[in-house]
Amino acid sequence: MSALSTIQIKEANAHLAALHHRVAELEGTVREQAESLIRKDEQYQASVRVIFDAKDREIAELKKRLAQSEEETQRLMASIKDKDRELERLQHHSRLLAQMCHSRPLLNALVSLMAEADGIPCLPNVEQCNGLPSVPDYAQSEEDLEESDMDRTLFGTTV
């Protein structure tokens, strides 16, 4: 091998010094970028924590509102059931009143007959039979027979 000249050695040393300087610059750049990335990562993590905390608070608020809505729904359902029961009761009373109104002419006739019967001092030909008064049979007209059939149907209903 041949010996290197001093100029070549100086150039090689200068080249090595420049390389060493360039490596130091690149290491500094890498270190700065790493530190910058670490700061950005910390900032992003803090931002993510803030977002997660806000999300958790919002979820908690929504759960609370959902629970309140469910309670309100249950309360309204109970109220609807109560009102349905009251409506059924009132409908039943309405049907009873309608039946009473339908039967009113017959009741009026009965009351008038009772009032007339109260006005008669005593019934003719009443005899005592086995301790019970015996009332003579009266002949019934066709109209009486028709009314008695109607009376049976009307008095057979539940009032």
pLDDT at 120: 78
Write the CA distances from 155 to 112, 135, 152, integer angstroms. Answer: 18, 23, 5
Residue 75: name the closest of 63, 67, 87, 86 by CA: 67
Which contacts qualify for 126-130: CB closer than 8 Å, 24 or more apart? none
**H or E element at residue 133:** strand 132-134
Tens-digit pLDDT profile for residues 1-32:
578 899 999 999 999 999 999 999 999 999 99
104's CB contacts (< 8 A; 6+ apart) are none
pLDDT at 156: 46
Helices 142-155 & 6-119, crossing angle to 10 degrees? 150
**Tens of each residue's pLDDT in the chain, 159 residues:** 578 899 999 999 999 999 999 999 999 999 999 999 999 999 999 999 999 999 999 999 999 999 999 999 999 999 999 999 999 999 999 999 999 999 999 989 999 999 989 887 665 554 444 444 444 444 455 555 555 555 444 444 444
Spatial distance between the Cα atoms of 111 and 103, rounded to a whole number of angstroms: 12
pTM of the predicted model over 0.85: no
